[in-house]
Structure 1
């Protein structure tokens, strides 16, 4: 069996699998090696596409150079033997494996929504309804594994993959083992530091299925709190804390008593005193009167479920007014005047969300009602899809990573799709009904609806804003946007430039009125003529205005140079 690279260096490598048939004939299957998915140990994982069937799989490629020792070779064969025997909706599917002169290739089910590691990096922590949903799926998979005498031994967020349907799939059986008889104990010290059970570290009495129960408790804590319970900067200190069972629940994070009780019951040093999977499933954490969704919407990859989504799972007797959503960012210190919901998150991997409806001007400088439209709320998921936003007129839009744009009408029954065409790269607009549109727009329309579900929530009922005239729908949208170290900038098609700084100050430029509005850290606003705004004695404003003009200039000319040093 051989592998070769395509003659065109820009094309992915072509991997060949040679199959010897019963009659001695040799058949060849070809796979094109696509994007890099991740790595672990000596293995690297790539997207494979069958040139015959066009089916996509994830291929774990293990160099034979790393298998020179018999122990390493035996470990890989054990992983393959265990994984190929497993068939469960919450376990990554095993397709098949083959080898050539250089590598062993393990073809697995492709999970397109990455792992829960990336999910938590974006979201920081999850709401209890989400944790209930995910844990139920993990418990289902563990029941199956343990019934087949398999201990995973490396349950962690990085080994929980998310399918395109948002199903949890347990993967990576590199440390898994299969018991030969009931009561057998394993003594290999293995696992990931933050998730490893104390009896594995001890090694004297051996370990069994209970190590997976312990890791499940660590996972539950991590999803609810945002970091593992025993995590430190030093592995030895982490191990010492695990042996001492030394952890606590942060005071600044609101957790339900059933949630804390479940974790406390699982994270018990004596493995014989930990609850069984059945006892965990019957715990009050999963039976608080609410229903639990089978799967969560893809929008939760980037942002928390909306209030309207959460409400449908509440007990019928509970009023929507009593719904208390768990914060997704830590509470601020006492005495802080800011609401943590409105923080512009300063992390590249986190979604940015902010609602500025209380700061934007409702009257023009002359005192007449303003008809200007601005970005009221947004969420940055450009790490995968693009930027979703809600305009003050009720329209929801998405600026996709490929520079196409989509805008949903305030009534939600039609949308406009904009893509750059022709030598001048101008936006070409097409309008469609939400019930009838080209098939190739299916994915983008679905993403638009997910963004809308999160961003809009109950805005219509709560704000009482005037909606845009349907005849004018789609004329105003985000034409460009840019994120720098200190701010996010939107350039709208109505010639409004809106800059929101991370210290909660804002600059709003209007080409129509030739005015600049500055909102300071206290939310107080001042409006100046653009012609002499830089001559103002308000140094905070002039400093930010200079920065705004500089990055705006770069946005129009050389976007890559837009990041400049700026100290607030």
Structure 2
């Protein structure tokens, strides 16, 4: 049995510190979210109760250290890691132990690892690869100068901090040479990244194994998967020994990148280039490599303008960017077991979408703190605030979202016999045209058909930039009485706004840049063979300028938006759409071919179009489900409010509601996964350093 499966880490961890006079000081840490696991350790977020400093804690169960080799391995990791300090190495803070566990406190990297980044993005642009690789090389040069071989260089051990700097971590397999020229013979590493000389084991290995792993990393980031990867480890090892890999034709890669990878992935370690030779290769001369990348790149590929700025000599930068967007928007979503994956989509009539199959809803607290809360994160540069005009300073209230949910649900449940005449049948004036889902970190960004850009943040605040790009509206839910909350809107100029909105405005600008850039591309799937925008979009000057997304949710089959203009929009993963207007009692349906039809609701429900009526029924079931969930939760809270509270509770659907209760839709598929907690066992205490 794996001792880690029974790991018992208390919610409050105490460190006993013995002072010089013999007194015992107790330092307490609050255990936070689980960060990941690997080998014999699990990682958690720890908060120092005295200083509020947050760090990553690597927790090793002592029961896993009963063998002397495991104990020596941990001691070696601590000894090596605590001896080094570099800008691109995860900072070792200190370690301690109690009767059950050993705790290694490390620098917390807020933006996860390159492994999670690649899961979201699928592939990276070469400019990004250059930036990350140059930082990895700097870390390796430092380690090798101190006679340290990392020996487990991989995406999962390369972390990103809040500045988007790469930090090399996990020194569990690292080894320190006693002298230059010494060879190590232990067979260790991760299958996809392990060098052939490690597998051979006859002549030993040295620094060159890290160079090999670097080549695998560069290939993996550009192509999207490791060069020797197979479903079977033995076959992977065989391919590594035979140096059997290739560059797929369907993935854009420069000749310079191919040449460098080919020079690194050579079986003879003595023939591989040194780290300095890699930095001097033509691949690293193709760009003005930025010191750090914008945080928006965690979710979105670089814009053509950004690439043009840093890679002016790259003639095909635009086609490469478009192809990456195509892959990003057409890639299948991550499994629900990893629900933080980035998804993107677009809505007809402009571009088709590919909504996720899994359910991802919006009220996930913690990714953003409210402006008046203290934050341990480093803030972006702050701008000066301006005195607001009376119009700006006057809060505007927006009614609770439950009203629209109820009205749309009732509309679909018992439609009245409304006969719209001739030109009274009009499509909705504002709807979501594009979106990018980065709710794993910040929230949902979207572009409306009137060219306004908005973000629904994970803390349920919203921000909307006007189509002119000069002003923005900020929406925050505030209590209007003891029974309900409403969205309160304040308006600011982009040149002057409260400094506590700096981070959110910056993210809004990043989302806007990405969404507008992809909107202008001409080769994105779905941009051809559709109705012209003029058929559905009136003069933008006549459209409401402050329509925004009030709620959104994801199901296995669709993504749903609830707009402030009382439109409910449902985009299905087969590229069909439903837009429901409770005020005009009309439905706009877009079929798989992109053909649209707007008609009265009663006519839609009685239509012989089975595909449309099936999707209307699904929309009704979801609205009923949301309404029931909100009412149940409100009753449980002892109030009539529809606002769901709590970090793990989400709007529109109660966190206590089983996702399996979602209404089915034939000919569409989705998947769920679940985990079962393991039992706990007692562990015999001992001192790890003895």
TM norm. shorter chain > 0.5: yes
* Residue 83 of structure 1, CA deviation: 0.7
Structure 1 residues 272-322: Cα deviation after superposition (integer angstroms, max 9, x where no partner): 11111111111111112x31211111111112122232232132x778996
After TM superposition, the score normalised by the length of structure 2 is 0.73
Report the counterpart of residue 3 of structure 1 in structure 2: none
- The answer to whether the aligner puts 1:524 opposite 2:610 as a matched pair is no
CA contact (8 A) 1:488 1:501 kept: yes
What corresponds to 1:448 in structure 2?
508
Shift of 1:238: 1.1
Counterpart of 1:563 in structure 2 is 662
Q: Return closer, same or farther for 1:490/1:60 CA change in 2, 3 Å cut-off.
A: same
Query: What is the SS of the residue equivalent to 1:457?
Result: helix
Partner of 1:480: 551
**Alpha-carbon separation, structure 2, partners of 1:321 and 1:239:** 36
Shift of 1:410: 2.4
Task: Kindly report which structure 2 residues correspond to 1:465-504, keeping only aligned pairs within 5 A, or say none.
Answer: 473-474=545-546, 476-504=547-575
1:4 corresponding residue in structure 2:
none
* Equivalent residue, structure 1, for 2:13: 15
For residues 322 and 152 of structure 1, the distance between their equivalents in structure 2, rounded to whole angstroms, comes to 37
Structure 2 CA distance for partners of 1:95 and 1:171, relative to 1, 3 Å: same
Q: Unaligned regions of 5+ residues in structure 1, if any?
A: 1-10, 330-338
The CA deviation string for residues 440-483 of structure 1, in whole angstroms up to 9 with x for no partner, is 43433333232223222375899999885599542x11111121
Structure 1 pair 321–164 and aligned structure 2 pair: CA distance change class (3 A): closer
Q: 1:272 to 1:344 in 2, by over 3 A?
A: closer
Q: Secondary structure at the match of 1:44?
A: strand
Aligned equivalent of 2:171, options 170, 173, 176:
173
- The Cα of 1:31 is off from its aligned counterpart by 2.2
Specify the alignment match of 1:126 in structure 2: 124
The reply to whether residue 291 of structure 1 matches residue 288 of structure 2 is yes
Contact 1:405/1:417, CA 8 A, preserved across alignment: yes
**Secondary structure of 1:136's aligned partner:** helix
TM-superposed CA distance for 1:233, in Å, is 1.3
TM (norm. structure 1) is: 0.88
Q: Distance in 1 between matches of 2:42 and 2:185?
A: 28
Q: Of the candidates 593, 614, 618, which is equivalent to residue 543 of structure 1?
A: 614
Contact 1:61/1:105 (8 A) holds in 2: yes
* Superposition CA RMSD, Å: 2.8
Maintained 8 Å contact 1:17/1:29: yes
1:495-517 Cα offsets, whole Å, 9 max, x none, are: 22222121222222233443322
Aligned residue in 1 for 2:476: 419
Q: Say which SS state the counterpart of residue 187 (structure 2) adopts.
A: coil
The residue number in structure 2 matching 1:36 is 34
1:394 counterpart (448, 451, 456) = 451
The 5-angstrom pairing of residues 364-379 of structure 1 reads 366=423, 372-379=429-436
Deviates more, 1:373-382 or 1:509-518: 509-518
- Give ranges in structure 2 of 5+ residues lacking alignment: 1-8, 352-420, 523-532, 630-652, 668-690
Question: Counterparts of 1:255-404 in structure 2 under 5 Å?
Answer: 255-288=253-286, 290-315=287-312, 324-325=320-321, 327-328=323-324, 342-343=329-330, 345-347=332-334, 348-356=339-347, 358-359=349-350, 366=423, 372-404=429-461
Q: Deviations over 1:55-89 (max 9, x none)?
A: 11111122222222222221111111111111111
Partner SS, residue 366 of structure 1:
helix
Indicate the residue corresponding to 2:387 in structure 1: none
Confirm whether residue 430 of structure 1 aligns to residue 490 of structure 2.
yes
Contact residue 395 and residue 408 of structure 1 kept, 8 A: yes
Aligned residue number for residue 206 of structure 1:
204
Q: Secondary structure at the match of 1:87?
A: coil
Q: Matches of 2:564 and 2:201 in 1, distance apart?
A: 65
**Greater RCO (CA < 8 Å, at least 6 residues apart):** 2
Q: CA deviation at 1:412?
A: 3.1
1:6 corresponds to which residue?
Answer: none
* 395-404 or 160-169, which deviates more: 395-404
Cα separation, 2, equivalents of 1:215 and 1:301: 23
Per-residue deviation at 1:16?
A: 2.6
